[in-house]
Each structure stands twice: as structure tokens, then as C-alpha cells.
A = this chain, B = another copy of it.
Amino acid sequence: MNTLEIAIYDALDAIPLVDSHSHINPHAPASSSLADLLGYHYYTELVHSAGMPREKIEQVGISSEEKVARLFESLHHIQHTVQWSWFEELSRELFGFNEDSIDRSNWQLLYDSAERCMQRPNWSQTVLERSHVTRIFLTNDFDDGLDDFDTHRFIPCLRTDDLVFHLQSATTQQRLSKCTRSHLQSLDDLDRCLGSLFVHFTKHNARACAISLPPWFTPRRIDAKDSTAQSAFRRLLQGPLELNEEDRHTLSYWVFWRLAEYCSEFSLPFDLMIGVNRKVYPEGVYQGQDLYDSRWSMIQYAELLNAFPTVKFPISVLASVNNQELVDYAWIFPNVIAHGHWWYSNTPSFIQHDLRARIDAIPRNKLIGYYSDAYKLEFILPKYRMYKRILASVLAQTVCNERGKSESFAIELGQQILRGNVDEIFFPNG
């Protein structure tokens, strides 16, 4: 890093963060042992990919220490990766572990010192403070209780994959009936249930509705009373075997369109995370089974974007080859917001490539730079640091060097990308 990049980085690193997407459990936000950290799918799936059998990694009943010991038999295969660099950085910054390398020879030391840290009272609070995080968005199931944690620190977000894609499952229907205290006998009932979820979530400070979507998904307007949807719903009530693929798609699109309508009615941004195929590798480790087909286009969302001009759509794409479309739809559509660097595109070469394209051409109020996607608080620090280094470097190169703007201009822009827009978009009234 040159002087300019360092100056920008330092300014960005001082900003209190609001993390707009995570999988943090508000009841256990931090880890209780190294196994929680190395059990993150980024490590288990890579260790499995490098050759360790799933059964060995996921054997039931082994201790946390045994699990970590086993993983370290294979973790040397990924010491060069960015995923490993997150673990190294958090070990250094949060646990004070300063060895050159973390490997079979010294992990026990780290394990023990991490355990000591985690057992301290207020460990979560300590991690949040060191990470400069003030608020974190959750990923809530539609029937999550929201009244037993601090919803001003842990912001509820209504995740809707189950409603759109798994409505045919009896479990989903039962959960929905139960949490909304209603019988699901018709589309009207379903519509009312969805509405009551929005009432419930917004009452508890929810700031977004969110969903991950497969590449084939192409939302289309379906009237709430649509007869084809009603027939499909009747067959759904008769049991999942009565539903054909077209029925399932009709119901998916029906529910999705209702969600967008409720987002409009309740002024909730609708986070779209586009491009994932689930269970492409069903023999993979837990959460290490999903991949994708990058052949989809933002044009599949044209009808939606036109139909809901007042709904803000923070959009994440799974593959970097879809980034230019995202950039250009955000350039043209007022309601499209480029949102973070998701999952398989959350590596430095893709972040740099995608971020440069965004900064070149999108209005500055339509870029949400990053979110952690973390399951445990400890990962927020290293992931955001990775991003902030790249952001500082891209700002220095494009805005300062190429376009002659000042350091302070770059810092202000970086602040807006890193924090300001999260506030504006998700907390428009403060």
C-alpha cells in the first residue's frame, strides 16, 4: 500500500460499521470454541475438497478439540487462500496469536488462548467493539421469535426462501399456520399470513426482506386472485405429490410478487441475492453443497423492477460475470442498488474487478459496499478489513489517480459506500 492508500484505509477503518447481511445468531453471536470458527463452511468444504472425507469432518459426538485437530490435518492445503487469511487475521487481532503460521504444530496453543478469551464475560461485546460494529442485520426465519434480543443492535431481516420455494413442504405450512395463528385454506389466507409476517417483523424493527434466488427465477406479475394460482394452491393443499413443476413455479411467483407488494406497503427494502443452485453436490459437507449456473440475466428482473419503482432492491450477484449487468441496471433503474460481494465473489480478485466497475459508473448513493455474511461475530473484522483494503486501493487508483480527486473526496466517498448508504437505504428515518 502506498501513502495515499494507507491514509484512505485508516480513515475507513475508523468508521463504525452497520453490517447489512449476516447469519449471526443473536442469542449466541460469538463463538464458544475454535470449532465454531473452523466449523464455518468456508473451512469444512475446502478441507473436504482437498481430500478429507465428510464423515471424518462431521462425525457426530466428537469434541470441539477433536474436530479442530482433524481439520488441521488438512488445513495446510489452504494456507495461501483468502479464506484462511480471515482466520489468521482474527486469530491475531482477537486472540493475540502472533505466530507466522497456524498449523498442526501450534494450533493447540491458539485453541486454548481462544477458549480463554471466549469464556470471558462480554466476549461478544469485546468482539463488536474491536470490529467497530454497531448494528448487524440478521437472517431470520419467518417464524423466528424477535422479542428476546436487542433488535436495535441485531436488526431483524425477514428471510423468505422457505415461503417462495418450499411452500409445498408440510413443515413450512405448519410453521406458517402456527406463527400466524391461522388456517391456510386459500390464497386469501396465505396472503393474510404474509401480511401478518410483515406486521410482526416491522413491529420488531426489521429493516429488510431478503431472499436468495436460483438462476432460472424470472419474477412475473401474478394477480393476488389469479385463477391458475388458486388451482395450484388447491393442489398444494391436497399434498405435495399433486403439484407439478408449473404449479410450483406459479406459487413461487405468486408468493414472490406478494412479498414485493408488502415491501412496497411496509417500505421495506427487498434484498435479492441472485444466482444460487442448491445441493449441486449433495454429498458435500453441511452448507458446502451449493453452486450455480452463471447463465442468467438481470433482464429476468425487468418486470419486477418496473412494477415496484418505490421498493429499493439491494441486489447481490453470485458470480463476477454478472457484475456488469448489475452495474448497468443500477446505472439506469433508480430502485436497483449494488449490494456487497457475495459468497463465491467475495475473494480479492473478484471484489477488486467488480468494485472498480461499480465506482466507475454508479451514482454514489446506490452502492452498499460490503456485508459480512458471517455466522459468528469474529469473522466480521477480517472480512471487512479485506474489503476496506481493496476499497482504499480502488479509490486511490480510480477517483484520485485517474480522475484527479482529493484524498478527502475519496475518504468521503468511501465512508458513504461503507456506511452512509446503509443508513440511508435501510434506516431512512434514522
Contact = CB atoms under 8 A, between A and B. Distances in A.
Contacts of A406: 100
Interface of A: 45-46, 48-51, 77-83, 85, 100, 277, 280-284, 288-289, 291-299, 302, 305-306, 309, 319-321, 324-325, 327-334, 344-345, 347-350, 353, 356-357, 359-366, 389, 398-399, 402-406, 409, 413
A49 B282 contact: no
B364 A332 contact: no
Given A80-B413, A295-B295, 12 more contacts: A49-B334, A50-B365, A50-B366, A78-B364, A80-B399, A81-B359, A284-B332, A284-B333, A344-B361, A348-B356, A349-B398, A350-B357
Given A353-B349, A365-B50, A80 B324 contact: no
Given A360-B82, A365-B77, A293 B284 contact: no
B80 A403 contact: yes
Contacts of A80: 359, 364, 398-399, 403, 405, 409, 413
Nearest to A296: B295
Contact of A360 (B325, B349, B402): B349
Contact of A334 (B48, B306, B359, B366): B48
Contacts of A77: 363-365
| Most B Cβ at <10 Å: residue of A324, A364, A365, A404 | A324
B333 A281 contact: yes
Contact of A49 (B284, B331, B359): B331
A353 B348 CA distance: 11
A176 B181 CA distance: 67
Contact of A325 (B79, B292, B325, B347): B292
A306 B283 contact: yes
Nearest to A285: B332
B359 A50 contact: no
A349 B344 contact: no
Contact of A81 (B319, B321, B325, B362): B362
A328 B294 CA distance: 11
Given A324-B344, A398-B348, A329 B83 contact: no
Contact of A281 (B302, B320, B325): B302
A357 B82 CA distance: 10
Nearest to A309: B283
Given A403-B80, A403-B85, A333 B363 contact: no
Nearest to A402: B348
Contacts of A277: 299
